[in-house]
Chain A
């Protein structure tokens, strides 16, 4: 009895409360949806949205580490998703014959996608993290655009004679039976759809685990110290560039894995999908959910992916209403009067609790 109570109090103490809630939320959602799906109670609409929601969630969690915890505005998250997605699609396409088992191939492709995105994160992070504030933001935007431009111009195919690669001008000539893995602006087509909701949920859990462990580690404290006061942190002997690099690279890796899952959920993937708008979309999930608040990010992602679908009955007006909702939410959540009002409610509750105790 006593030990039980102890475990519970540990799980709900300040340090663990956030992650306990996160894991519980995710696992509960998975169980409920899986049971409903088995029973045939989930509509095709929702069933089709499950995997993309987990993808956006993972990318947004990574971005929240970057923007919320580390305090760097990153406008190029879609670029890392793109790198991960196309890497994974290529890996899966190439291994389709040799590894027929979908879960294994999915795992390899996800790891591959995340790995390449991490490399990109490292290479891009070196110049980017020398800059600060809005200059950093625009450089991430620039890298996002460059990645899109480059992938739009890559041609990669393979046949029985091996790989053929060309850039800008498509010169690949495949023998019959060959397969184009990347076809320039047309991206990847004929991808086997091996992504599953369960894989998505596992990916979300892994992302949460990585982020929470990082936040509560020594490096995590250093990252937050660097965010709150760069100079004071530097004076305390923290290597600013290294700490920022850590969060940047982890964020890139998560985006890569998210992109990988996304890419393997559709039979076709175009480079244009991961443009500036997608980066912004993910940023909106993060800001709306609350900077540094992982649960908020997850909930905001679900709400904002579903919102346009729920507004479909408004037909042509739905994106207009979506924009209005976005503005109104930002105005309400940042309204000083409302904040004070909430605060007064909280303190009253706290008072009554004290009295009860």
Chain B
């Protein structure tokens, strides 16, 4: 099954989803498409006109272009996903490489779609790590193939 991961470029989630036998939907594949085929230098920070139009489906016209650019990439992935795994409040999600408003809109879109979603926390101890991995393992095991 296709599983959307949030943060969409998370290595831990990508690896765990693949390890437990599902297909992770991450931003890297779509960024590769843009880098290889239309030679955009820094997606999602550089966007094409098509992206801006596509992003309007997920974020209003008054929303800053950075959010719309991100959602133009993440929105179609959420629509294609059969399930989602979200890591709450990653420390790097707010700042020069992150965007908290985009994260909020992403979570909102996942809830609106009504697909099975699991929310976990980044671990700070071995017990928390076991809880995180166990939750993900059980969630993905329950999805079927």
User: Is A bound to B?
Assistant: no
Q: Enumerate chain A interface residues (CB-CB to B < 8 A).
A: none
